[in-house]
Amino acid sequence: MVSRSCISLLDFASGNMINFSQSPRSLPRIMTVPGIISDEDVDGTNDGISDAPSTGSCAKMIIVSNFLPLNAQKDLNSGIWSFSFDEDSLLLQMKDGFSAIPEVVYVGSLRVDVDSSEQEEVSQKLLEEFNCIPTFIPPDIYKKFYHGFCKHHLWPLFHYMLPLCPDHGNHFDRLLWQAYVSANKIFADKVTEVINNTEEDYVWVHDYHLMVLPTFLRKRFNRIKLGFFLHSPFPSSEIYRTLLVRVEILKALLNADLIGFHTFDYARHFLSCCSRMLGLDYESKRGHIGLEYFGRTVYIKILPVGIHMGRVESALNHPSSSIKVKEIQEQFKGKRLVIGVDDMDIFKGISLKLLAVEHLLLQNSELQGKLVLVQIVNPARSLGKDVQEEKMEIYSITKRINDTFGFPGYEPVVLIDRHVPFCEKTAYYALAECCIVNAVRDGMNLIPYKYIVCRQGTPKMDEALGVASGSRHTSSLVVSEFTGCSPSLSGAIRVNPWDIEAVANAVATAINMPDLEKQLRHGKHYCYVSSHDVAYWARSFMQDLKRACKDHYSKRCWGIGFGLNFRILSLSPSFRKLSNDYIISAYKRTSKRAIFLDYDGTMVPHTSLDKTPTPEVISVLNNLCADPMNSVFIVSGRGKKSLSDWFVQCENLGIAAEHGYFFRWSGMSDWETSSLAVDFDWKNIAEPVMRLYTEATDGSYIEVKESALVWHHQDADPDFGSCQAKELLDHLENVLANDPVAVKRGQNIVEVKPQGVTKGFVAEKVLSKMIASGKPPGFVLCIGDDRSDEDMFESISKTPYSSSLPSAPAIFACTVGQKPSKARYYLDDTVDVLALLQCLADASSSNLSSTETQVSFDNVVQKEL
């Protein structure tokens, strides 16, 4: 039997891989085979897309991770499974931050294989005793998913290792990617079982193993409250863009409401990728970074995770810790202890650390026989030739150091390559003068935090160490600048792990530092670590997730796109797509109409190299202008010469150039110049400043208009161009503070123009004249795509129309593209705009034909009489 959780290649190719099977929403529901639910469990009334909350259910937090926070063991004799919580698991420790949430459910895989015949029993046991929902992924898929795509593609890439040759990573394998998607689909099926109430329940997805899971969940529940936290680094765009499925993963992550990162660097790289690959801009809203994505605001959270203080202090107070401390004290009596704890991983920099210790002993003979580095190596989490090579190198360097500087009774490097109980680690932490973390790239690394708490100690540990009660504690840290914990440890000595000499000097400085300075640095670190623990981290993330989801039920949502391109279009109930039938009905009922049209981005796409109007544009404008009931205007920021030349065939078309500084009522009338500005001396100040930024920003240029200066940066590097635009805006506002000008930032531009010259003023001028002449419009249409068009939208809405009209005028303010706007309507693109205008033109032609026919008929009747 084929598992429903495992997508077929045909589904993958067709983009139907995220169509969920109908499934019940209540617990418990146990699958006997991965992805298969018995027919009697299926609720036939579920349409697969409903977000309606269930009644009577209470809120819960659903934590989804690759592994459950459990230890599992099977008795070989009795065949009975035994399970226990893994007290060291971050997922378990973060529960302390959810005091306001009554129930926490875990979804993930076990670290052991469970036979299919036992899965139902195991699932029931885990649900009832641990509130855990296991995802039993078929072994062949799991191997390709975890050991394949996760560990051989994502993990190296996110740690800046490119597959340049077979010895440094694997080339992209489409089958591994399909297994990754399949595994994420199975996780989604399990989460779907758990959710009872999308209005109350929260889902928090963890780490790079599940980066496409948000798409599956958003597809199933449009208004799901969904957070994602990445525990690894996020690489720069130059590295990330080498991934073949880069866009699919970005779009999937953007289906979350809140995306968390340990450091600003990781968040900045993610935002840069969104900008360069998806064209999305971000902005800070009262301290919160947000990305506008199809009407939704996806928020970015920057907060490093902390440790569980109680867990560390409990280990310090454990009797075995006190016993181990005394053993270590005796073993290293008279020695200066430095501690290092790392996974067996090519990115942890263990070999570089050993080389630094070798250099330190070589350059400081007084430390020979006294300094001891205890290097604890945790078991490797992944398999591969690179891990084995790293292990061989570590052993080789260790042997060389010990052979060179060691003697009977003294080994400068003590390598512990086995599983070390946490209580034993705390003993080493408590005794070590210095802790060194030398990773070449690491997402966070909590070893320094644990070291600091252990050095602070507890009364029981102080007693075991022989430290007087009330004594001030010390600690010294040497931390790689490429670890996520580095920015938060301001008192640590930061090093470049590749600079062996600098690392050696840093260790020497750390152990020889005056006690007072050690105390001050330790106090600063302990204050931060104790106040920013794992509960604080979880609680802060949840607060931001709640804030990010507060508008879920105040907007209308539509699911659009296929496969991993699925996303939600979320719009305010008052902001909707302009229907052709609706506007034509209003158009036909009125006898006087005003139509205002932006040009760039409205009549022609921004991406078009040739900005001249197409024959289709000219034709539709002429047809609209041919109707004597219509007053049609192009309102643009472009210069009057370009617009005059382009629309020479449209004699009845009104044009406002340079945002209304130049204006003419038709092709047969003269240009009028705004009286709002007569002095342009400010150009002598603004143009040199713009020229300075143009020289410094490749791809930018200055457009000189009669009334304005515009700095364009659409062809510059997106990040650098945006940064320079912000700086230029601030620069120009300062130097032009006393001049009668407005400095505005638009889409890839910074513009300086006279105060009061706006597109809104143009609309106000036209409408005021129509009302004053006794011909108030009963129909007003305004279409634009830029920030400058917002003035028009506001103006046509606030204009006091004549009371002589039988009813309020039909006002249609319409923006191009779904985005925050003062307009009540939107059209998707220029194609939709032209289609709408053509419908209006056809309606005018129909009315004119009917009128002409009626006139001809009346003439014939008159002659007969």
Mean pLDDT of the 640-650 span? 92
pLDDT of residue 29: 35
Q: What is the 3-state secondary structure (H, E, C) of 552-604?
A: HHHCEEEEECCHHHCEEEEECCCCEECCHHHHHHHHHHCCCEEEEECCECCCE
Instruction: Give residue 167's pLDDT band: very low, low, confident or very high (50, 70, 90).
Output: low
For residue 607, pLDDT beyond 50: yes
pLDDT of residue 12: 40
Strand partners, 375: 340, 415
Identify whether the C-beta of residue 48 lies closer than 8 Å to the C-beta of residue 190: no
Identify whether the C-beta of residue 297 lies closer than 8 Å to the C-beta of residue 290: yes
For residue 177, pLDDT beyond 50: yes
Check for a shared fold between 60-135+182-302 and 309-532.
Answer: yes
pLDDT of residue 798: 86
For residue 865, pLDDT beyond 60: no
The residue ranking higher by pLDDT, 847 or 190, is 190
**Is the CATH number 3.30.43.10 carried by domain 681-754?**
no
pLDDT of residue 8: 36
The whole-angstrom distance between residue 429's C-alpha and the CA centroid of its chain comes to: 36
pLDDT of residue 853: 44
| Model pLDDT for residues 69-97, shown as the tens digit of each residue | 999 999 888 889 999 999 999 999 999 99
Identify whether the C-beta of residue 758 lies closer than 8 Å to the C-beta of residue 791: yes
pLDDT of residue 773: 87
The residue assigned the tokens 């993963």 is 249
Helical packing angle, 309-317 and 319-331, nearest 10°: 70
| Model pLDDT for residues 497-508, shown as the tens digit of each residue | 999 999 999 999
Instruction: Give residue 33's pLDDT band: very low, low, confident or very high (50, 70, 90).
Output: very low
Torsion angles phi and psi, residue 416, rounded to 5: -110, 100
For residue 32, pLDDT beyond 60: no
The answer to which of 638-642, 665-669, 674-678, 720-724 has the lowest mean pLDDT is 674-678
Mean pLDDT of the 514-533 span? 96
For residue 763, pLDDT beyond 60: yes
pLDDT of residue 22: 36
The residue assigned the tokens 């947000």 is 290
Instruction: Give residue 28's pLDDT band: very low, low, confident or very high (50, 70, 90).
Output: very low
Identify whether the C-beta of residue 601 lies closer than 8 Å to the C-beta of residue 747: yes
Q: DSSP letter string over 34-55? A: TTB--GGG--TT--S---PPPT
This prediction's pTM: 0.80
pLDDT of residue 76: 85
| Average pLDDT value over all residues in the chain | 87
pLDDT above 70 covers a percentage of the chain that reads 89
Query: Please, what's the b/e burial string for 735-748 (b: 16 or more CB within 10 A of its CB; e: otherwise)?
Result: ebeebebbbbbeeb
For residue 52, pLDDT beyond 60: no
Choose among 524, 518, 465: nearest CA to 490.
524
Mean pLDDT of the 243-259 span? 97
Mean pLDDT of the 28-54 span? 37
DSSP 22: P
Mean pLDDT of the 377-383 span? 83
Residues 6+ apart with CB under 8 A from 658: 637, 638, 639, 640, 705, 706, 707, 708, 753, 757
Mean pLDDT of the 820-842 span? 91
Mean pLDDT of the 127-148 span? 95
pLDDT of residue 788: 84
Task: Identify the burial level of 620 via C-beta atoms within 10 angstroms of its C-beta, where 0-12 means exposed, 13-18 middle and 19 or more buried.
Answer: buried
Mean pLDDT of the 177-197 span? 95
pLDDT above 90 covers a percentage of the chain that reads 69
Mean pLDDT of the 289-296 span? 90
| Model pLDDT for residues 567-591, shown as the tens digit of each residue | 988 878 878 889 899 999 999 989 8
For residue 787, pLDDT beyond 80: yes
Pairing of strands 709-712, 701-704: antiparallel
Alpha-carbon gap, residue 250 to 227, rounded angstroms: 15
Domain 576-676+758-846 has what CATH class? alpha beta
The whole-angstrom distance between residue 754's C-alpha and the CA centroid of its chain comes to: 38
pLDDT of residue 3: 38
Mean pLDDT of the 296-319 span? 95
Strand partners, 374: 339, 414
Domain ranges of the chain: 60-135+182-302, 309-532, 576-676+758-846, 681-754
Instruction: Give residue 775's pLDDT band: very low, low, confident or very high (50, 70, 90).
Output: confident
For residue 721, pLDDT beyond 80: yes
For residue 57, pLDDT beyond 50: no
Identify whether the C-beta of residue 629 lies closer than 8 Å to the C-beta of residue 593: yes
The answer to which of 157-166, 311-320, 467-476, 637-646 has the lowest mean pLDDT is 157-166
For residue 11, pLDDT beyond 60: no
The matching CATH number, chosen from 3.40.220.10, 3.20.20.70, 3.40.50.10800, 3.40.50.2000, for 309-532 is 3.40.50.2000
| Model pLDDT for residues 677-700, shown as the tens digit of each residue | 668 889 999 999 999 999 999 999
Instruction: Give residue 59's pLDDT band: very low, low, confident or very high (50, 70, 90).
Output: confident
The residue ranking higher by pLDDT, 556 or 143, is 143
pLDDT of residue 850: 54
Domain 60-135+182-302 has what CATH class? alpha beta
Instruction: Give residue 847's pLDDT band: very low, low, confident or very high (50, 70, 90).
Output: low
Mean pLDDT of the 697-704 span? 94
CA separation, residue 445 to residues 341, 479, 536 (Å): 10, 10, 17
